[in-house]
Structures are given as structure tokens and as C-alpha cells.
Amino acid sequence: MNAVKHPIRRSFVFFLIPDFTMIAFATALDPLRSANRMLGYEAYRWRLASIDGKPVRASNGVECAVNTSLEEERRKMAGPDRPNMAIVCSGTNVERYQNKSAFAWLREEYNRGVAVGGLCTGAHILAAAGLLSNKRCAIHWENLPGFSEAFPKANVFADLFEIDQNIYTCAGGTAALDMMLKLIGDDFDESLVNRVCEQVLTDRVRSPTDRQRLPLRARLGVQNSKVLTIIELMEANLSEPLSLIEIADHVDLSRRQIERLFRTEMGRSPARYYLEIRLDRARHLLIQSSLPVVEVAVACGFVSASHFSKCYRELYARSPQQERVDRKQLLAA
């Protein structure tokens, strides 16, 4: 008797960028291996690629060997080894990555009907390649401020993952597992997803819109619902800060009540807390983007660069300009 032939459902190319995040890469790849094992045949195939075919070092220092270079991938584009999906694996320092050849290859794959994806900060690479204009995407929360400023045409969300037609992006970490389980479920059924979940010791597939970060209550150790509501208002209005009167109207409290609550729960005034979270966003923008300092100031609700610099120095004991210098020296080391 002839052996039963099972169709390959999808083939993947994982394109590794220097300093890629290992946990996102591993939690994207291993569900495919588990699915194959549960099915008893190779429904999914994959290979690893880099710019030049040489090993790529992850952000944790581990070097990962690859199968192909981009030159080889281009040759495979017109043949039977063309992938169904090309996934960019990146991580730290993604804003420094500029490679026109890689960007062109991603566009070529996409234009030929190949799905493209990004793990962790991979959305940054896809946006730089011109693939995310008017597309929904997800990126790690830490990189979201800089990404939003650099690529205003992309519809970025602080979700675990986003699927917009033929573009798949996730926030990294274990969110890559959720995105791949969704893909496996679309290809097969919930039964297979449940078996893979049992294999990797997770109890469910999280929704795309589940939180990336811990809820404020857990993150800050604050239980007062009014204080949490006020902080959420502040975090949602950083470029155009609300006045304390406007905040008071939103939560139906007096200014004096809000002052007392913040002194008790947060150990500082609401104005001080609001300033600190605006400066924290500014720090992310200084590190992750090349925006001029004056534009960073405006994006974080400061009316002048001089006032911004004064506040920044008071909190971080260095100027915004020095923050950038220190960052460049650290990366060059």
C-alpha cells in the first residue's frame, strides 16, 4: 500500500536580526514542532535566514546558526521552496537597523503573496520596509512610543498580537506563542490547539487584545479605584496633559480630594506623578527614536525645550542630550 501523503500547510522563513529576542523566536517556532508531533506528520516546515547566511547573535548572547542567506531566499522565491510566510525576528536596538536589501526582500515576498510577520519589535522592520501604512500592528509596549512617532501611518496597538490580512505582528515574549496557536487553529481546529497547549504547559490561547503589561493595580500596588482611573487618564493624555480640574470632573472628585488621595497612595502630588510619567515617555523616545529634542518635548506635553530639559535633568540627573550621548556610547561599547 502507498503511504498516505499529507499536505504541507505552511512553510516559514524566520529572518533573524542581530539582537533578536530568543524567547519570542522560541515560542513562535516550538508550537509548530509540537503541532507536527501531535499530527504525526510534517504539516509545518521552516528554515532560518540571515542577511549573509552567517550565524546571528541573540540579545542573550546565544549565536544561532541559519540555513540560508537573503540571496538564496531570493532564488527560492520563484520555485517550489517559496515560503508561505516570512517572519522577522528582532529585539533590542531595532531602531538602529537599516538594511535596504532586507527591506526590499520583505516587500518582494509580500508582493508575491507571501504573508509577512514580525516578532517582538519586528513591526519596526516591517514599517521601515513600507509594509505597515494603514495596517494594524502590535509591538512591545516598551517600543511603542518611539514606533508611534517614527511611523505615524501605522495603526499600532498595545495588543498581544495583530493580524491584518496577510501581515502578522506580535509584541514578543510569550505573545508569539498565542499568535502561532491562533494560526494553527485557523489551519486545523481547536482540538489540535488544545493538544499543543497541553504539550507546552499553557492552559489557553490569550486573546489578541489581552494586556501586554500587568494591570495597573498589580503593577503599582495600588487598590484605590479612583487613583487607578486617574492614572489611566494621565497615561492616555501625555502629549496634551489634562488639568487637575479636568481630571477632577472626569472622576467626580474635588481637586483637594485628588491631592489627598495621591499623597496617601502614591507618596507625591498628582502633578508630580503626571510629570514623571511624561518624562518616562520622553526617555523612551530619546532612546528609541531620532526625533529632535524639541519634538520629544512637544510629544510629551512640554511647551518649551528649555522647560523640558530642566525637568528632565531634575529627575534623571542628566540632560536629554546627554541621555542620547550615553546611549550611543553604550551601544558602541
CATH no. for 10-200: 3.40.50.880
The pLDDT of residue 5 = 62
Q: Comparing 325 with 21, which gets the higher pLDDT?
A: 21
| Whether pLDDT at 305 is above 50 | yes
- If you count them, how many residues does the chain have? 333
The pLDDT of residue 1 = 42
The pLDDT of residue 25 = 97
- Using CA atoms, how far apart are residues 185 and 328, in angstroms rounded to an integer? 43
Sequence-ordered alpha helix ranges (H) in the chain: 22-39, 70-76, 100-111, 122-128, 144-150, 175-187, 190-200, 216-220, 225-236, 244-251, 255-265, 270-288, 293-299, 305-316, 320-332
The pLDDT of residue 327 = 74
- Using CA atoms, how far apart are residues 320 and 312, in angstroms rounded to an integer? 7
- Using CA atoms, how far apart are residues 324 and 333, in angstroms rounded to an integer? 14
pLDDT band at 124 (very low <50, low <70, confident <90, very high): very high
Q: Work out the mean pLDDT of the chain and round it to a whole number.
A: 91
Report, as an integer, the average pLDDT of 110-123. Answer: 96
pTM: 0.77
The pLDDT of residue 117 = 97
The pLDDT of residue 222 = 81
| Whether pLDDT at 83 is above 50 | yes
Break the chain into its structural domains and give their ranges: 10-200, 216-330
The pLDDT of residue 331 = 58
Contacts with 22 (C-beta within 8 Å, 6 or more apart), sequence order:
58, 59, 60, 62
The pLDDT of residue 242 = 95
| Whether pLDDT at 169 is above 70 | yes
| Whether pLDDT at 251 is above 90 | yes
> Residue 81 corresponds to which cell in the numbers above?
521552496
pLDDT tens per residue, range 1-53: 445 567 778 999 999 999 999 999 999 999 999 999 999 999 999 999 999 99
Give the DSSP letter of residue 174.
T
In terms of CATH architecture, what is 216-330? Orthogonal Bundle (1.10)
The pLDDT of residue 8 = 72
The pLDDT of residue 74 = 95
The pLDDT of residue 308 = 95
